[in-house]
C-alpha cells in the first residue's frame, strides 16, 4: 500500500504527460476541452468536500498495519490524490498547449513557470486539504488559463477582449467557490494576485497566442503554389543541429526572391488575422522591412498556410516572424542570407 502511495503520483504524471504530448496540440478538439472541463469540475467538487471535512474537524485514521487500517487510510487520502490528479491533468495539457504556442522569450518564460507548477503539483499531496489558500490559488490559475483557451474557441475569435473576459470568469468562479465552501477556509487574495499577474503578463506580451499552434515555418527559394500544394526548396540543417529544421545559412542567387512559408493550426471555426514580419539585423538592432497581412481559417490539421517574400534581400542576418496582427508572436525563424546558389545535393523540397 505504501509503495502504491509513493509511486501513484509519478505514474499518473508520466502517463498523463505522455498521453497529452501525443494528442494535445495535434488537434485541439472539443473532446479535449470536455475532458479538461471535467477535471476542473472534479477539482471544484473535491475542494468543497475537503472544506466540509475541514469544517467538521474530521480526524485522519491512524496508520494501521492490517488490511482494514490501510484501506481506511487510503480512503482518507483518496480526495487529496484525486485533486492532485485533476490539477496535474490540467497543468499537463496547458503546459503542452502553451509550449506549442510559444514563440519568443517572454512566452517561453511563462511556459517554464507552468512546467515548474506541473512538477510541484506532484509533491503537494495532502497539502491541498490543509492549505486551502494554495488550493484556491491553483484552482484560479487552472480555471483562468483553461478559459483563455475555451472562450476564443467558442467565439471563433481571438479578439483580445476574450482574454479579459476569460480571466474575469476564472477568478470570479474561484471566488464564488471559496465563498460556497463550508467555513470559507484559506485566503482568496493570492488567487486575485494570480489573475493580476496574468493580466500584466498579457500586457507585456508574455502570454502565448492560444489556441493558435505553430505547425511549420520555413525560409527558402523557388516557391510553388498549385492545386492546393505549397512547396519550397530549403537547405536542411546538418544532422548535429537536431533542434533546427533547416540550415542557419541560406544561399540565394542575386536578384532572386527569399520566400517564407508558415503553417499555423487553429481549431475549426476559429479565424485570426495574422501577419508575416520580415526583419534584417542592422546597426546592432532588428529593423522591420515589410509586414504582410492575411487571415487564417481554422480546421486544417496541418495548419492554415501563409506565404510571403522579399525581393533580392541583401546578405546578412534575416528573420521571419509569424504573429497575430495585434502583435503576439507565434513563431520566429532566423537565417543568414549568403550570395550564391546552393548545391543540388544540399537542397530538399518541403511541402506544406
**String of DSSP letters for 25-40:** TT---HHHHHHHHHHH
Give the CATH number of the domain where residue 234 resides.
2.60.40.1930
Mark whether 192 and 227 lie in a shared domain: no
Total number of domains constituting the chain:
2
Position 119 confidence tier, pLDDT thresholds 50, 70, 90: low
Q: Of 164, 185, 203, which residue is a domain's last?
A: 203
Mark whether 219 and 187 lie in a shared domain: no
Mark whether 199 and 217 lie in a shared domain: no
- Note whether residue 208 is domain-resident: no
Mark whether 194 and 242 lie in a shared domain: no
Mark whether 199 and 304 lie in a shared domain: no
| Residue 181 grid coordinates | 465552501
| Residue 161 grid coordinates | 477582449
Q: Of 179, 203, 227, which residue is a domain's last?
A: 203
CB atoms within 10 A of CB 236: 14
CB 320 within 8 A of CB 276: yes
pLDDT digits (tens, 9 = 90+) for 243-287: 888 999 999 999 999 999 999 887 777 788 899 999 999 999 999
Distance CA 90, CA 76 (A): 23
- Give the range with max mean pLDDT: 1-5, 42-46, 214-218, 295-299: 42-46
Mark whether 175 and 252 lie in a shared domain: no
- Note whether residue 8 is domain-resident: yes
| Residue 128 grid coordinates | 491541498
CA distances from 302 to 217, 267, 299, 351 (A): 12, 11, 9, 11
Does residue 17 have a pLDDT over 60? Answer: no
More confident residue, 76 or 227: 227
The range of the structural domain enclosing residue 236 comes to 213-351
Mark whether 279 and 164 lie in a shared domain: no
pLDDT digits (tens, 9 = 90+) for 97-109: 777 777 767 777 8
Distance CA 338, CA 248 (A): 10
Does residue 1 have a pLDDT over 50? Answer: no
Q: Of 138, 169, 203, which residue is a domain's last?
A: 203
Position 322 confidence tier, pLDDT thresholds 50, 70, 90: very high
Mark whether 160 and 268 lie in a shared domain: no
What average pLDDT does range 173-180 have in this prediction? Answer: 96
Grid cell 507552468 in the structure block, residue? 114
pLDDT of residue 144: 93
| Residue 124 grid coordinates | 503537494
Mark whether 190 and 269 lie in a shared domain: no
Amino acid at each position: 500500500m505504501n509503495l502504491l502511495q509513493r509511486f501513484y503520483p509519478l505514474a499518473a504524471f508520466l502517463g498523463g504527460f505522455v498521453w497529452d504530448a501525443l494528442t494535445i496540440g495535434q488537434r485541439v478538439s472539443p473532446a479535449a476541452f470536455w475532458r479538461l472541463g471535467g477535471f476542473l469540475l472534479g477539482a471544484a467538487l473535491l475542494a468543497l468536500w475537503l472544506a466540509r471535512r475541514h469544517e467538521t474537524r474530521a480526524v485522519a485514521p491512524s496508520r494501521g498495519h492490517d488490511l482494514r487500517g490501510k484501506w481506511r487510510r487510503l480512503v482518507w487520502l483518496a480526495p487529496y490524490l484525486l485533486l492532485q490528479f485533476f490539477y496535474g491533468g490540467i497543468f499537463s495539457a496547458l503546459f503542452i498547449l502553451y509550449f506549442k504556442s510559444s514563440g519568443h522569450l517572454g512566452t517561453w518564460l511563462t511556459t517554464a513557470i507552468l512546467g515548474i507548477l506541473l512538477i510541484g503539483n506532484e509533491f503537494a499531496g495532502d497539502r491541498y486539504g490543509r492549505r486551502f489558500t494554495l488550493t484556491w490559488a491553483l484552482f484560479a490559475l487552472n480555471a483562468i488559463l483553461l478559459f483563455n483557451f475555451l472562450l476564443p474557441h467558442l467565439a471563433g475569435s481571438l479578439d483580445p477582449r476574450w482574454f479579459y473576459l476569460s480571466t474575469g470568469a476564472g477568478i470570479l468562479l474561484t471566488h464564488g467557490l471559496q465563498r460556497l465552501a463550508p467555513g470559507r477556509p484559506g485566503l482568496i487574495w493570492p488567487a486575485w494576485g494570480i489573475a493580476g499577474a496574468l493580466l500584466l503578463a498579457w500586457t507585456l506580451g508574455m502570454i502565448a497566442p492560444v489556441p493558435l499552434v505553430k505547425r511549420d515555418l520555413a525560409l527558402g527559394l523557388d516557391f510553388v503554389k498549385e492545386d492546393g500544394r505549397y512547396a519550397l526548396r530549403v537547405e536542411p540543417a546538418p544532422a548535429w543541429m537536431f533542434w533546427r529544421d533547416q540550415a542557419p545559412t541560406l544561399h540565394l542567387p542575386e536578384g532572386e526572391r527569399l520566400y517564407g512559408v508558415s503553417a499555423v493550426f487553429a481549431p475549426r471555426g476559429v479565424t485570426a488575422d495574422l501577419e508575416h514580419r520580415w526583419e534584417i539585423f542592422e546597426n546592432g538592432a532588428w529593423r522591420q522591412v515589410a509586414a504582410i497581412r492575411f487571415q487564417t481559417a481554422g480546421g486544417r490539421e496541418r495548419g492554415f498556410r501563409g506565404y510571403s517574400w522579399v525581393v533580392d534581400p541583401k546578405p546578412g542576418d534575416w528573420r521571419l516572424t509569424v504573429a497575430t496582427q495585434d502583435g503576439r508572436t507565434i513563431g520566429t525563424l532566423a537565417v543568414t542570407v549568403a550570395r550564391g546558389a546552393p548545391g543540388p545535393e544540399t537542397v530538399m523540397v518541403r511541402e506544406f
